[in-house]
Amino acid sequence: MVASTNRINDQFRHAMENPGELVKEHPLPSMLLMFGVGIGVGVVLSQTLCSSLAEMAMPEPTMTDKVRRQVYDALSNVISPSMLKQLQSYTS
């Protein structure tokens, strides 16, 4: 077990010292690894960009929301605050 661990450590050290040689020995896995890294970086960047753009774009209220707001404003002048609170709990 210790001998295999030492061998793996030696192989890893050799690969880190000469990455060009490793790529020449294993071109397809190296290409697939870089492709996966590129896809991962692209996903992270697009998520970051899209979330910041989504925060900037405020959704426009629907017609139902506008009418609900108008009715609520009109009723707020007529009925008591406790009844208004109860009405809010029904509509939310």
> Is there a single domain that holds both residue 45 and residue 65?
no
The whole domain housing 76 covers 59-92
> Is there a single domain that holds both residue 40 and residue 75?
no
> Is there a single domain that holds both residue 49 and residue 15?
yes
Which letter, b or e, does each residue of 15-46 get, where b requires 16 or more Cβ atoms within 10 Å of its Cβ? eeeeeeebeeeeeeeeeeeeeeeeeeeeeeee
Number of compact structural domains in the chain: 2
> Is there a single domain that holds both residue 19 and residue 31?
yes
> Is there a single domain that holds both residue 36 and residue 65?
no
> Is there a single domain that holds both residue 67 and residue 48?
no
Against a cut of 0.85, is the pTM above it? no
Closest CA to 90 of 66, 71, 62, 63: 71
> Is there a single domain that holds both residue 51 and residue 64?
no
Could you read off the pLDDT tens digit of each residue along the chain, which spans 92 residues?
567 778 888 888 887 888 888 888 889 999 999 999 999 999 999 888 887 776 677 677 889 888 888 888 888 888 888 887 887 787 66
> Is there a single domain that holds both residue 87 and residue 42?
no
